[in-house]
A and B are shown apart, each in its own frame.
Chain A
Amino acid sequence: MTRLTRRHLLASAGAAASIPLFAPGIVRGQTAIPIGLVTPLSGPQQLIGDAVRVGAEIAVEGINEAGGIDGRQVALEIRDSKANPNDATVAARELTGAGVNLQLGAISSTVALAMGTMMEGEGGIMITSGAGSEKINHENYSPHVFRVGDNPYTRAHGMVQHVADTQPDVNKWVGIIPDHEYGRTTWAVFIDAMAKRWEQTTGNRPEIPDPILVPYGAGDYKTFIAQATRLKPQGIFTSVYGGDAVTLYQQAKPFGLFDNLDVLVDSSNEFLVASAMGNQVPRGWTGFHWYYKANTGNPISDRLYDEYVNRTGSQYPLGWAAEAQAAVLAYKASIEKTGSTETQAVIDGLKGLTFDSATGPRTIRAEDNQAIKNAEMAFIEPSNSAEAGFEVTDSISIDGADVIEAANPGEKLELTTL
């Protein structure tokens, strides 16, 4: 028989007292709603992951300050995905094992695609925060994975429609595309948009050779730049991203490639390139998850901007923060709608849900868990008078309902070629 000593008693009491400190979702004796954030907080995508974390934290604090969800506070449980599917699934599984069934933060396509099967098995939900692959709501559709942001199809069709409306004479295009899953997806949907919208809008058939594929993480793009220059394009579409894009634009300067264009369409660099290059940034359109000035007057956007600037010191927030904020707000709306945090109830609540976000109302399609969200883009130009060396001289927000593809979950997205 085990003898209960005073030391055992004290140890047991200490352990019991420490449970609220470590158990997710239990705050000061009141059960909080835990939401897991699994996003890259180290490695090559940490810059984006940090914006996602800030956006999620701002959303959670805003909800808690306003009284929580149905009177319950929200607790954010943060894990590092390292932008790696293996690390991300381990972190997500650990969270679901601890009872954190509601998660967000996947920003890379490979991580988001790995989440489907895992979440179905573990009984959790993942809302992505910027992952681009069209497979998420098509051939790899999972009822447990939601995308509350725009997808590459929506963005490419929005961009092409806008350029077709405003610069219909730009007929000779070249693509500079990173040679990976995301790059090839963006090119395929760009061609689809050109095939379906350009000729219909402008009356001209666009001239588009095969894209110039560039390796990921290369130090020297000059051969590819020379190839693009000799084609003498009027317009360039590129989805080269982040540091690679900075290097590409930098090395292209002596060639005059981007300076001699009628239009540059950069699918997704937001302020990343402009912040690095200042007054050397090439003038052109770039896609945004959320461009704050296009949403001035929207209290959700205004609060996100102010808080983001306060926390990071950056005047140019990354739109991924708004995707994380939107994910948290979607969970809130779903829980309030169904009155439950159980996985199936939250899934049911998210399907067909319309909720407010920093970019205005978004509706999650019940068929494929894809949100109908505005496609936003801004025109960035170098400026010697602006402190940052660049300024935004135009921006647009295109109704997502006008440019989104039809829902066909489980089916490959059928795209047109020229």
Chain B
Amino acid sequence: MMMDIGLVVFGGLSWAMATFLVAAGLTLIFGILHILNFAHGGFFMVGAYLAWAMIEALGGGVSIWTYIAVALVSGAVVGALGVLVDVTIFRRLRDVEDAYALIATYALLMVCIGAIELIWGLDFRAIMPPEALNSALFIGDLIAPTFTIFIIVCGVVVYVALEVFMARTETGKLVRIVAHDAWMARLLGLDVTRIYLITVVISFALAGLAGGLLVANQGLSPELGGVFLLQAFGVVIVGGMGSIRGAFLAALLLGQIESIGGMLFPNYPGIFYLVALAGLLLIRPQGLLTKGRTEWV
């Protein structure tokens, strides 16, 4: 019984932090730009492929520090792609209806998939975690893979870093002001366009970082972009659109529900996430922590 509880909690944490890593950038960009960015999964995938390519170029087996450095470089490269996307696409979407933004970001996702197919082809790819993370801790009967513990730690670190950035840095405070009222911020003389750009870059960098960190946990194919997207959207919606803290809590909650459901009803895998999503939206449609659409952090 103790082992079952440990398995449920650990499995739920694993699901939660992997999903939060992807959802963090998604909720950030929605909180500021009010764009539901379907292409987020695509840029997560680009980050994963970049990390795979770099690790392969380094000979395959890398140390944990090299692995982290590669993930950071992936995040930086994808963040730079965010500049391009903001200048060429997102700026044009700010004064149009939401439906256009949805179509545009979906098209951008297709572009990501096409680019991956052109550069790396259709074959499945995989790399293993660094040697130091390719084992497991045995706690009684509970088996805890060290790579999963690493991902859980990364999820917490990213969450704390975002909280600190938003609450304690000048740029973070400016981002919050724009999120609250962009019109007033512009009247007060703030360079709202620049703050939007910073937000997009951070969001994209988070997608690339998530891809780089999770690459050793996923088979790579041009379909990878969709793997976490549904889960991440669920976490963003349940947490409250635009709320990083809400997304973090929602990931923890949905992860545990999914894990408990999988243990109690193994013949219905994956369904508890959807049931929980529907139930939570019925109970609290505005999300766990959000009172209004733009109120966040």
Contact = CB atoms under 8 A, between A and B. Distances in A.
Whether A and B are associated in the same complex: the answer reads: yes
Nearest to B137: A254
A247 B219 contact: yes
Nearest to B218: A247
A220 B14 contact: yes
Interface residues of B, number: 43
Contacts of A243: 124, 219-221, 223-224
B259 interface: yes
A273 B124 contact: yes
A245 B136 CA distance: 21
Contact of A213 (B128, B135, B266): B266
Interface stretch (B76-84, B197-205, B225-233, B284-292): B225-233
Interface stretch (A152-160, A225-233, A282-290): A225-233
Q: Most A CB atoms within 10 A — which of B141, B216, B270?
A: B270
Nearest to B3: A230
B124 A280 contact: no
Interface stretch (A44-52, A105-113, A299-307): A44-52
Contacts of A218: 227, 269-270
Given A219-B218, A223-B7, A250 B122 contact: no
Contacts of A245: 219
Interface string A374-397: 000000000000000000000000
A122 to B, nearest CB: 31
B7 A254 contact: no
Contacts of B145: 222, 251, 254-255
Q: Most B CB atoms within 10 A — which of A223, A242, A243, A256?
A: A223
A275 interface: yes
Interface string B223-251: 11011100100000000000000000000
A209 to B, nearest CB: 10
Contacts of B11: 222-223, 226
Contacts of B136: 254-256
Nearest to A257: B143
Contacts of B3: 230
A256 B135 CA distance: 9
A276 interface: yes
A385 to B, nearest CB: 16
B7 A226 contact: yes
A222 B126 contact: no
A213 B126 contact: no
A272 interface: yes
Contacts of A254: 134-136, 143, 145-148
Contact of B269 (A214, A226, A242, A273): A214
21 contacts: A46-B122, A179-B270, A210-B267, A212-B266, A217-B226, A219-B217, A219-B231, A223-B263, A226-B143, A227-B266, A242-B219, A243-B223, A244-B219, A247-B217, A247-B218, A247-B219, A250-B218, A250-B219, A254-B143, A255-B136, A278-B126
Given A224-B262, A275-B123, 18 more contacts: A214-B269, A217-B227, A219-B217, A220-B14, A223-B15, A230-B141, A242-B124, A243-B219, A243-B223, A246-B220, A247-B217, A251-B145, A251-B217, A254-B143, A255-B136, A255-B145, A273-B124, A276-B124
5 nearest interchain CB pairs?
A246-B219, A215-B270, A254-B145, A223-B11, A276-B124
